[in-house]
Chain A
Amino acid sequence: MNLKMKFGDKNTEQVKFLRIMRAIVLFLFLGIGMSFASNSYSQETLLSISAENKTVKDVFKQIESSSEFIIFCMADVVDLDRKVSLNLEGQNIETILNFIFRDTDNTFKIEDRQVIITKKTSNLQSPSVSQQNKTKVTGVVTDTNGESVIGASVVEKGTTNGITTDIDGRYEISVSGKNAVLSISYLGYVTQDIKVDGRRNINVQLYEDSKTLEEVVVTAYGTGQKKESLVGSIQTVRPSDLKVPATNLTTAFAGRLAGVIAVQQTGEPGADGANFWIRGVSTFGSNTSPLIIIDGVEANATDLNALDPEVIEGFSILKDATATAMYGMRGANGVMIVTTKSGMAMEKPIINFRIEGSMNQPTKIPEFVDGVRFMELYNEAIYNQPAGKEAYTQERIEGTRLGLNPYIFPNVDWYNELFDDRSFSETFNFNIRGGGRKVDYFSSASVSHESGMLKDRSKDFFSYSNNINRMRYSFQNNINAHLSKTSKLSLRLNVMLVDKRSPQQSTGNIFSSVMAANPVDAPIMFPKEAGDPYIKWGVPAHAEGPSYSNPLAYMTTGYNDTFQSTVIASLSYDQKLDFITSGLSFKAMASFKNFSNSVQTRTAGWNKFLIEQYGKNEEGIYDYKLKRFSDEVGTTLSSSSSNTGNRKIYFQAMLEYKRKFSLHDVGGLLIYNQDEYMDNNPGSNILVALPTRRQGFAARASYAYDNRYLAEINLGYNGSENFAKGNRFGFFPSVAVGYNISEEKFFEPLRKIISRMKIRATWGLVGNGDIGGERFTYLSNISLTGSAAFTTGINMDKVLSGPNYSRFSNNNLTWEVGEKINLGLDLTLLDKLNMSVDFFRENRDDIFQAKATIPNYFGMQGTTIYGNFGGVKNQGVDASLDIGHSFNKNLEFTFKGSFTYAHNEITKYEEAIGEYENLSKIGYSTNQAWGYIADHLFADQAEVDSYAKQLIGGTIGAGDIKYVNVTNEFYGKGDNTIDSNDRLPIGNPTVPEIVYGFGPSIRWKNFDISFFFQGVAKRSIFMSDLQPFGSNANNRNVQKFIAEDRWSPDNQNILAKYPRLTIETHDNNSAQSTYWMRNGAFLKLKNAEIGYTIKSMRFYLRGSNLLTFSPFKHWDPEQGGGNGLKYPTQRVFNLGFQMTIK
């Protein structure tokens, strides 16, 4: 067995370029500095080593810890357990190594700071094999990128005959014969066994084995920590694992990041990011979102979604108090840290480009009835509920059925008139990564284009197109200047531009306009006649009321041109302070973010027409007389514009200390930071115009003994301007301990099965200072002319208003505090299966809430008084699992899975429920819905009359929903009414409590194929706003399922899927209840991908949202409740090509 040893860790100091790219890439990834200073280092550096009967391994460790040398060797080449004694003062490395290996068959090679220990050539030959039978084999070992691998070991299997590759990756070995097998291994790569088969030249390509890499995890404030010594609960992921269409990162979080609950609710380009929460929701306060940090700068979900996955080096999800306490009152909801790639010193830059095209299809859309059915149902509703409306005549119904005249008897399928069943998008990314000794760089440019699923109908009528058409240009430039051996200046610049065309109406309104129109009341337009200066749009006769009377006109008349720019620039300076004391460093960072958004809106008027009269002419053909509805309006575009924006300035300074004293690892960190956020267009509100500021200190101390016992203390001390003086600063401590039990001697026998095992426990306090969404809630708020107005004067012309008290002061307001406890277990089995399980609990306290118990007879309705009243307990488990196995160089298999369960309960809540315990939120989830318990539908009027009075709204009749009299049945209040006091918590929370994902990937030769399933469970959704026809005289459309199974005079099914139809909104039937509750669980084939890699090129075909399994059938359950009329989530097929040039 070959083992590449590395005996300690090193901090980067100064990198001298050498033609050994592979090593640098690897070592950078390890986060371990390598020093390739002038060749003179080995000459100049003098070491003092003393050891009494120590193993060679220990001596190596000692050398590494007291110098910058890194020693590489193979275990079966060097006897590391051989005991040596030496006492050398002020000697160079060569002398020391010569001493250690003086009586052995080992030799060594010193390349600057890298020491490679091999066997003496003469001793490499196996004594048992005669010289004549020897075959010499040569070759080059490279990685998948074609980089030569230095120091890889090449051993003839079953012998001690072996060698390491040189700095060009070359090897030369004499083997025992044709049938010899070479075993090529290197740390971090899959070991390969290759039959010689008489070949003289065997070039070997090694594949990365990511699992065995000693990952460095990015922790709070961008500092790194070895995964091995980590005690906090941090989940990391590389963007390559997310496999999403490049336009949207957050949609990939669900099921892939243990501890992240995510749901994507719309598929609208530019707005299709997922909502996500780290470990669920722990507060009913206004801010439940995690803190997002991109390269040290606080960002928002939009910025995150806008990042091209290509530029991201990795994500870290900071989940427990140890991970987030340093963020103080920003850390309670968890932190997501994103780092972008950096350049590196290399001879030739690496150029990477990727091009991807996608086709998007809506997953599932609601279906509507056709015109004839609509009219029949309408007439039925009139019969059920008289409301002064006229029934559709038999003549109209027949006329529509026979399609006699499309203008008199329209039958319009508005959904299909407005929306396409597919849309396309394309992405192109180009990035280059390179550098020299003094400066390195990473530069990326990407362009993506997305279009929406709105039909391009506006072009049929007007000169413009107003379908969603979004171009995004994103640039990332990261430059590091190595000013000296010990100092580095880095500039990170991210510029993002969005240029978007969209309809002047929001897509939400356009989708609901389909619900608000019906197939029969108006044609799209009347035929154009010669001389018509404009289109004669059809409107229903009842157009007097509703706002959208012709969805197509509504959608097509006008558009918005939006231009957004986001610039994030950060400048940081790193200084090693080894001259003060070894292991000390200083880092300062200043960053600036500016967001600006300008919208040009162009709107045109549209002319409405309707049929005044129709009838049959002499020939018996239908004829009609057209009439204008309301006045003629100009159709020229009018224009308006608006600008919004904000900026953020952040500064941070940090002093870090990291040193290893023999077996003791000591670390310390001290940080100061401040930030300021300003609205660029604050308008006249003085409070909005004031900057939002934060200021804080944070500190960390960590200690590890022999990598076995780990301890860490984190402190955050920070303040926000949002609170009254004296209440501004909070102190947030956390402690953590970890135990690498697998490092213990007694564990050795188990290590074959349990390769690694770590137990972690953390406790801490974190805060959430972002409360209420309002600012300065501790202050009272009076607007001097904000009250309702009163008018006097015989001419009704004196209108005055007085002050409005919108808020009373409360100087004691403070942030929410979360006490977080985490217990974690990391396990590696058989070197193949990695598993991590965390149990967590959080007690969130002091949740900000408006006082709800003040009776309105005090006269203070509309005046809020805030306090820290609430509490929430959140607990659960998150786990991740990955298995990797290489059967041979042609076949690799990996499997990943994650599981998150987070359940929260309100523990304290300011509520006024009187004697009705069933209304109390305490003990229920923050996302729990309350509703009535639907029994079945009333069978007849007699049942209505004999049952308790349902005072929810509307007059009750047969076919209406019958509710359980909760206060009576459950609490014995003896009342005979059902009103809002009869509601109970129903179903599961609306945000899922369980999110999981799993999927295999298989690589076979040049092909790779992967699947990923993702699902949620323990979630309820509520259908609402489905009511056909409706109160506002707008004769809303009818969804198909209603037509198929409803209570009607002819189908008096008390278990029907829809109650009796009514013309007007019937509050009794539309109230939130178990009748409308549905199981929101689903399992999706979220991704499937097949790829083919040849040389440095890769082709792939990928599908997202391919299959959905769910008990809910009407639309994609991930979109949530409602009536399904919003921009649907999309099924995406991507075809991509990626190429890397070196």
Chain B
Amino acid sequence: MNMKTNIIFLLLLWMLGSTSCNYLDIVPDEKATEADAFKDAAAAERFLYACYAYIPDPRSGTYSMDLLTGDDIVTPWEHEVFGQFARGEYTPSKPYINYWNDLYKGIRYCYLLKENLPTVSGLSVEDANTYMAEADFLIAYYHFLIIRNYGPAIIVKGLADINTPLADLSARSTYDECVAFISEILKDVAGRLPMEWTGSNYGRATGTVAMAIRARLLLYAASPQFNGGERFKSLYGEFKNPDGTLLINTQYDQKKWENAKLACKEAIEWAERAGHKLYEAIPGGLPQTPEPEDLTLRSLRFTFLDKDNTKEVIWAFCKKEDTGNGLQVKNLPRWASRTWGGTAPTLRQIERFYTKNGLPIDEDPEYPYNQRYSVASFQPNTRDTIYGEGETILLNTLREPRFYAWIAFHHGYYEVLGEDKVEETSAYHTKFKRGKLGAKLLTEFLFNQNSGKTERGTGSFTGYLAKKGAHPGSNISSTGANVVQYPWPVIRLAELYLNYAEACIECGDLETGIEYLDKIRYRAGIPGVKDAWKGIATLTQHKLREIVHRERQIELFMENHNFWDLRRWGEAETLGIQPKGMSVMEKDDLSKFGQPTAVDVRRRFIPAQYLMPIPIEEVNKNPNMVQNPGYNE
């Protein structure tokens, strides 16, 4: 009996012993906290990078809203996310790509950094000031991206309180207020940012970047979409907050162009002071890629590809390109499961390029415009031979160097390296190798030919391929697409010149406009504006507006601009028009191939889509928030 009692007492003791009150205290104190995110200089630098990390990737082959979605390109990959933008199928319920959340997230990171920077130990004052300036720049830049996407934005001026009552949630500010807010920060921050970043810091914001973004901001703000364009008077006339504030001013204001012109001028000065200049290839210079051999073509093709030598790029996005579905592998001629050869310029873009005389194809008297779809031949032993060989469509002859630098066409060349251990129909086969060291390929675009459309539904849908952005030094082999990586230009000097030219022309300063247009044209190997149009047209403001728009669509083709430019000019309805190309189903007859046909893709554009839809949930969450016009009617 005693023994039992003992057992029981022992058990009871054990039970009590294990009941110690800290049985449930198991979370160690050494957990990561917000303080750790700012504990030293290295942590602060990581935080800074996190601030930058919400900048959308501008050359993602699958997820760029504005790269392959303009009226200039069609691809076989419109089932990918970006395709919804080409087709105009994005809606508030299904925005597909929704930068709203990410961009505001970036803004919050910037404010967090600003708030906590003073607590970081071991960070030099100099660095702290730079970080502070970069955070400010990013706040402005993110707001700029928001207004470019969505128009009038909610301006965020600090860290939000999560307990904000529903009624106190912010309403959208007017477009002009947003512009003023962003412009002020950018102007202020330019002087606080470094003049340049080199080496491993290349790609961070500089003073020039701030000024250049400001120039772009004001250019957009002065453009018809936000400056009383006729197209927009009815669309935005009733675009109001619940309190009645009109969000986009529909009255034209010349002052906006003046501001833009000034900002562009300042940006150019900043850029030139920082040593930026248009890229021109040097004979025998780097990179040691043999093709294209012609210096003009080389200057154009390598404008931003020659990363170590180009001074033209003002701001670059440095994330490495995806080698499976990125832009280069989508551009480069087909090598099964390595490269896809599918970014096909539309006939509209093909015809946009000038003739060799620097004139639109329908204005150049030397250009046989009416026969442009007939079969023609490149003349051997002339300058023609650097552009192509044998029979092609007349449209592909007598064009400006940018056409030949950036476009591959039937019996033209595509500069790229590649092995030849492939089947006969592949562009990389020995029989298609041309040029120095066989470093350019002869491209053929009839059905099932080496770059043509195939039975699989891949290949070029228009009979053309874009070469722009594809590095001629990229080496394709059975082991993979060894693409040469280079930072993608977000801003380059040519854009600043074109921005300035446009603003000057809109302000009536036609001479300066022409001066800056000519800088671009001379580098492109075509005559200046006045020379080209001499005796053909009078260079009125109206004419020059047309010229500067066209120049921009040629020069900045496939650089994330077309999508936005069409909108701000009020010309985005062209995005809803069925694009055309060659008759790519034609197997043998080149003359039949040359007949323009509608490309088998879907296109739609509704006026609401001049602005991106705000995710429907965000409108539902915030009683003070209104949807963009057209999505609710």
Contact = CB atoms under 8 A, between A and B. Distances in A.
Interface of A: 385-390, 484, 486-487, 541-542, 544, 573, 575, 577, 579, 586, 588, 612, 627, 629-631, 651, 653, 672, 674, 686-687, 690-691, 693, 695, 719-721, 725, 728, 776, 779-780, 782-785, 787-798, 800-805, 808, 851, 853-862, 865, 912-916, 919, 949, 951-955, 975-977, 979-981, 1031-1033, 1064-1065, 1067
A951 B93 contact: yes
B83 to A, nearest CB: 9
A575 B478 contact: no
A166 B318 CA distance: 97
Contact of B76 (A388, A486, A951): A388
Nearest to B585: A390
Interface in B275-318: 307-308, 318
A411 B284 CA distance: 58
Residue of B52, B107, B108, B620 most packed against chain A (CB within 10 A) = B620
Contacts of B87: 955
A784 B601 contact: no
Contact of B105 (A387, A674, A862): A862
B314 to A, nearest CB: 14
Contacts of A782: 32-34, 36-37
Contacts of A674: 18-19, 23
B626 to A, nearest CB: 11
A522 to B, nearest CB: 12
A733 to B, nearest CB: 21
B104 A856 contact: yes
A693 B23 CA distance: 8
B53 A951 contact: no
Interface string B435-474: 0000000000000000000111110010000000000000
B198 to A, nearest CB: 7
20 contacts: A387-B79, A388-B76, A388-B457, A588-B15, A630-B337, A791-B318, A792-B197, A792-B204, A794-B199, A794-B202, A796-B320, A802-B46, A803-B37, A805-B34, A859-B111, A861-B101, A862-B105, A951-B93, A952-B94, A980-B92
A824 B94 CA distance: 50
Given A857-B104, A980-B616, A796 B319 contact: yes
A916 B620 contact: yes
B261 to A, nearest CB: 32
| Dominant secondary structure of chain B at its interface with chain A | loop
A794 B93 contact: no
A438 to B, nearest CB: 17
Contacts of B43: 784
List 8 tightest A-B contacts by C-beta distance, closest first. Answer: A802-B50, A859-B108, A914-B620, A951-B91, A980-B93, A800-B49, A788-B53, A1031-B79
A544 B456 contact: yes
Given A627-B423, A792-B318, A861-B101, A803 B200 contact: no
A974 B458 CA distance: 45
Contact of B461 (A388, A859, A953): A388
A860 B162 contact: yes
B157 to A, nearest CB: 12
Nearest to B321: A796
Contacts of A725: 25
A916 B51 CA distance: 35
Contact of B109 (A791, A859, A912): A859
B170 interface: yes
Nearest to A967: B632
Contacts of A854: 162, 621
B32 A387 contact: no
Interface string B622-633: 110100000111
Contacts of A386: 600-602
Given A862-B105, A955-B89, 9 more contacts: A387-B79, A388-B600, A721-B25, A782-B36, A802-B50, A802-B51, A859-B109, A951-B92, A980-B92
B600 A389 contact: yes
B485 interface: yes
B4 interface: yes
A782 B31 CA distance: 9
Nearest to B201: A792
Nearest to A977: B632
A653 B106 CA distance: 55
B21 to A, nearest CB: 9
A800 B46 CA distance: 6
A588 B11 contact: yes
Residue of B109, B457, B478 most packed against chain A (CB within 10 A) = B457
B388 interface: no
A330 to B, nearest CB: 15
Contacts of B27: 687, 690, 721, 776, 779
Interface string B125-148: 000000000000000000000000
Interface string B160-192: 101000100110000000000000000000000
A798 B201 contact: yes
B100 interface: yes
Contacts of B318: 791-794, 796
A808 B11 contact: no
Contact of A855 (B24, B36, B111, B622): B622
B633 A802 contact: no
Nearest to B613: A951
Contacts of A808: 162
Contacts of B166: 853
A651 B93 CA distance: 52
Given A544-B337, A629-B337, A859-B106, A793 B621 contact: no
Interface string B344-358: 000000000000000
B47 A793 contact: no
A897 B78 CA distance: 57
Contacts of B457: 388-390, 542, 1033
A793 B24 CA distance: 49
A406 to B, nearest CB: 19
B320 A791 contact: yes
Contacts of A976: 632-633
A578 to B, nearest CB: 11
Interface string B600-626: 111010100000000111111111010
Contacts of B631: 951, 977, 979
B120 to A, nearest CB: 13
A387 B602 contact: yes
Contact of A793 (B200, B478, B620): B200
B456 A541 contact: yes
A586 B9 CA distance: 11
Contacts of B632: 975-977
A787 B32 CA distance: 14
B375 interface: no
B555 interface: no
A719 B24 contact: yes
B539 interface: no
Given A388-B76, A575-B7, A630-B336, A780 B33 contact: yes
B456 A787 contact: no
Contacts of B197: 792
B16 to A, nearest CB: 9
A790 B53 contact: yes
Contacts of B376: none
Given A801-B53, A976-B633, A791 B319 contact: yes
Nearest to B42: A800
A690 B29 CA distance: 13
